[in-house]
């Protein structure tokens, strides 16, 4: 199976391959429009009966180089502008796609049982894969079963589901659908799919223009006839409009062909990945069977369904002869790959959920609270050995990179245990905008009584008395939380924190900074939490920082790479510069850092978190193959003793998060 980094490069490679079909589509459209204008000009249709346009020879009846050049430039500019317009309209954001489909954002503290269920499922899979929990949108007007994932990066991805999916699918089936969509996120399909919407809109724009001309001219001609006793000269414009409409359908054909080339095999891969994640082929197979049996199937009624058809879980368009170029494989084939016993008979499928509605709502509500937590009386014993985590920490070189961008059933089980064993008050707090910041504060409190006292004093001075009292209640419960899970708890809280206003987020951010510096000695734990919060603050309130960023090759980033390895080596070995230098050399060896960019340990610059922060920010704009090399070098740097501490592993996860390379959750 391909690695995460290979999948990202494959997605980029597929984009280049599709460029051929895209250019061919433009050339065919240009040629068609040229012939349309050549015919109308040569025949005098659009010259008001004047003499036809003179041509240089008999061959010139169909060929005029000057006219072709004008048409080529004009059409190319129109297509390019239309594509740019649509891309800017989407803004590289999955939320814009959800808005196009009239999606409604699910509030993290929703009280609806069906919405709690999908939230719980998405949280489990996100934590298992090492991602922040993406926002979830419900397509309220869609009674069919469908879903999508949209975004350009892991940190701006969203998950969308239809109302029909929430109401019709069992938990296992819904989990299979969500796991399928996460596969598109992790395998790099999501970014390509979103870009295709903007790119393909350009070649679809010609057909749209032709239709508008025909409809507009017909209306104006009818009106003119009524005013002028039936005389009208709008026929020539209608001919142009009809011609553009017909030629524009060449663009529709190529758009379908391109989307089919992108989607079909990736759907099979996403189905297989969903089974790998959940270890339950009958879950996703059951969802597909219900699509086949349901009257509405997977059809999306929204007017934008055609544009976004390649992003859906199942075919969102009505059946027609164009199914030859459908974006999704035949339903029966997908099912039989998952369930070989299926005979293609959809009439025998029960489209009702396997749990009665009332019982299902009660079960979902219990699950959202964490049933295992109440049954066991508390979280998992943090002293219990975790073989998966110990394997990574004791054998880091070959293991961490292999897990990036992947997940399996063990990760899903570990994530489910984390969520279920969170104290109910903490689980509720991460979904409440008022309480979620308090959870973050508890994660920063120091174990040393004197420093902890200073931090509590800072909170008491900066929070209203009622808020400090609420925080104090939460603090008692937070003692049951394993501090090694703070990154995953932060991932759970981020969707709720995104609901804060800018001033509220700033207040939280400033308090986090004060708490982290209470002992005038920032540690890796505090730094890690800070950089993640700052990144997501910028994503929400300063998105322009991320626009127009181009991934750079390693040659443009060697100084920052050298600084990164220096910081990891020195901060991890403050008391032993000899070991620090050995760790640094282990890091730069992977990147072949030129001598002029290497640091001299006899004259070291000031090494601190500011230098580390600057290096990470710059290196997060590197190409994906560069990120793989950088992370391998980082792991070598901090594992010079052949082991990685839990704090070092957490820092690697945070650096990988900055690089949009998710490290799956392995448990406490």
The answer to whether 222 and 246 are in contact (CB under 8 A) is no
Q: How far apart are CA 431 and CA 495, in angstroms?
A: 8
Q: How far apart are CA 418 and CA 379, in angstroms?
A: 8
Q: How far apart are CA 460 and CA 464, in angstroms?
A: 8
Q: How far apart are CA 524 and CA 633, in angstroms?
A: 18
The answer to whether 100 and 635 are in contact (CB under 8 A) is no
Catalytic residue among 181, 267, 307, 581: 181
Q: How far apart are CA 494 and CA 643, in angstroms?
A: 30
Active site annotation includes 596:
no
Instruction: Decide: helix, strand or coil at residue 656.
Output: helix
As beta bridge partners, residue 137 has: 105, 160
Provide the phi-psi class of 229: left if phi over 0, else alpha when psi is between -120 and 50, else beta.
Answer: left
Q: How far apart are CA 626 and CA 564, in angstroms?
A: 14
Query: Which DSSP string do the residues of 124-147 spell out, in sequence order?
Result: HHHHHHTPPPPPEEEETT--S--E
Q: How far is CA 599 from CA 456, 561, 562, 566, 617, in A?
A: 40, 11, 7, 8, 20
Q: How far apart are CA 448 and CA 331, in angstroms?
A: 60
Q: How far apart are CA 290 and CA 276, in angstroms?
A: 21
Within 17-146, strands assigned E span 103-105, 136-139
Q: How far apart are CA 174 and CA 115, in angstroms?
A: 12
Task: Tell me the H-state helices in 325-432.
Answer: 331-338, 357-369, 371-376, 387-394, 396-403, 409-420, 424-429
Work out the number of other CB atoms within 10 angstroms of the CB of residue 415: 26
Close Cβ partners of 477 (under 8 Å, ≥ 6 residues apart): 423, 425, 426
Known catalytic residues?
Answer: 181
């Amino acid at each position: 199976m391909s690695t995460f980094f290979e999948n990202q490069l494959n997605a980029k490679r597929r984009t280049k391959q599709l460029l051929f079909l895209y250019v061919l589509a433009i050339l065919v459209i240009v040629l068609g429009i040229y012939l349309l204008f050549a015919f109308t000009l040569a025949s005098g249709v659009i010259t008001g009966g004047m003499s036809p346009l003179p041509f240089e020879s008999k061959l010139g009846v169909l060929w005029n180089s000057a006219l072709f050049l004008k048409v080529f430039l004009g059409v190319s500019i129109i297509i390019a502008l239309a594509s740019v317009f649509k891309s800017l309209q989407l803004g590289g954001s999955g939320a814009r796609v959800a808005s196009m489909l009239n999606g409604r954002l699910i509030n993290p503290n929703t009280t609806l049982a069906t919405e709690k269920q999908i939230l719980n499922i998405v949280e489990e899979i996100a934590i298992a894969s090492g991602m922040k929990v993406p926002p979830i949108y419900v397509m309220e007007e869609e009674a069919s079963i469908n879903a999508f994932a949209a975004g350009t990066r892991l940190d701006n991805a969203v998950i969308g589901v239809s109302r029909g999916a929430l109401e019709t699918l069992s938990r296992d089936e819904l989990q299979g659908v969500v796991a399928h969509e996460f596969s598109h996120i992790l395998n790099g399909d999501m970014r390509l799919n979103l870009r295709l919407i903007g790119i393909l809109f350009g070649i679809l724009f010609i057909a749209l223009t032709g239709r508008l001309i025909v409809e507009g001219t017909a209306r104006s001609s009818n009106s003119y006839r009524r005013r002028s006793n039936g005389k009208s000269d709008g026929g020539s414009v209608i001919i142009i409009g009809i011609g553009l409409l017909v030629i524009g359908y060449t663009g529709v054909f190529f758009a379908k062909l391109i989307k089919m080339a992108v989607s079909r095999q990736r759907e099979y891969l996403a189905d297989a990945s969903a089974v790998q994640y959940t270890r339950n082929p009958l879950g996703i197979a059951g969802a597909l069977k219900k699509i086949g049996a349901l009257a509405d199937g997977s059809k999306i009624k929204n007017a934008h369904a055609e544009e976004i058809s390649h992003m859906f879980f199942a075919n969102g368009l009505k059946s027609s002869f164009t199914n030859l170029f459908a974006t999704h494989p035949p339903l029966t084939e997908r099912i039989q790959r998952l369930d070989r016993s299926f005979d293609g008979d959809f009439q025998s499928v029960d489209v009702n959920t396997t749990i009665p509605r009332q019982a299902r709502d009660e079960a979902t509500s219990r699950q959202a609270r964490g049933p295992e937590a109440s049954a066991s009386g508390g979280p998992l014993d943090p002293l219990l050995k975790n073989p998966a985590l110990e394997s990574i920490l004791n054998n880091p070189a070959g293991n961490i990179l292999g897990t990036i961008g992947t997940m399996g059933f063990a990760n899903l089980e570990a994530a489910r245990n984390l969520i279920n064993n969170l104290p109910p008050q903490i689980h509720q707090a991460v979904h409440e905008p008022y309480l979620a910041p308090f959870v973050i504060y508890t994660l920063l409190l120091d174990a040393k009584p004197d420093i902890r006292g200073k931090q509590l004093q800072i909170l008491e001075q900066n929070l209203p008395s009622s808020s400090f009292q609420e925080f104090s209640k939460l603090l008692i419960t937070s003692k049951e939380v394993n501090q090694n899970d703070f990154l995953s708890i932060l991932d759970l809280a981020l969707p709720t924190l995104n609901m804060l206003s800018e001033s509220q987020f700033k207040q939280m951010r400033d308090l986090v900074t004060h708490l982290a510096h209470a002992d005038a000695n920032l540690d890796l734990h505090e730094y890690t939490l800070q950089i993640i919060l700052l990144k997501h603050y910028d994503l929400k309130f300063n998105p322009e920082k991320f626009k127009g960023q181009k991934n750079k090759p390693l040659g443009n980033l060697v100084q920052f790479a050298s600084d990164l390895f220096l910081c990891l080596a020195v901060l991890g070995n403050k008391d032993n510069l000899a070991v620090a230098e050995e760790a640094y050399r282990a890091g730069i060896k992977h990147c072949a850092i030129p001598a002029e960019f290497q640091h001299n340990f006899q004259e070291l610059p000031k090494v601190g978190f500011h230098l580390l922060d600057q290096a990470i920010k710059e290196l997060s704009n590197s190409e994906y193959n560069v990120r793989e090399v950088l992370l391998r070098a980082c792991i070598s740097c901090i594992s010079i003793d052949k082991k990685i501490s839990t704090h070092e592993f957490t820092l690697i996860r945070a650096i990988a998060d900055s690089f949009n390379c998710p490290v799956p959750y392995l448990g406490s």
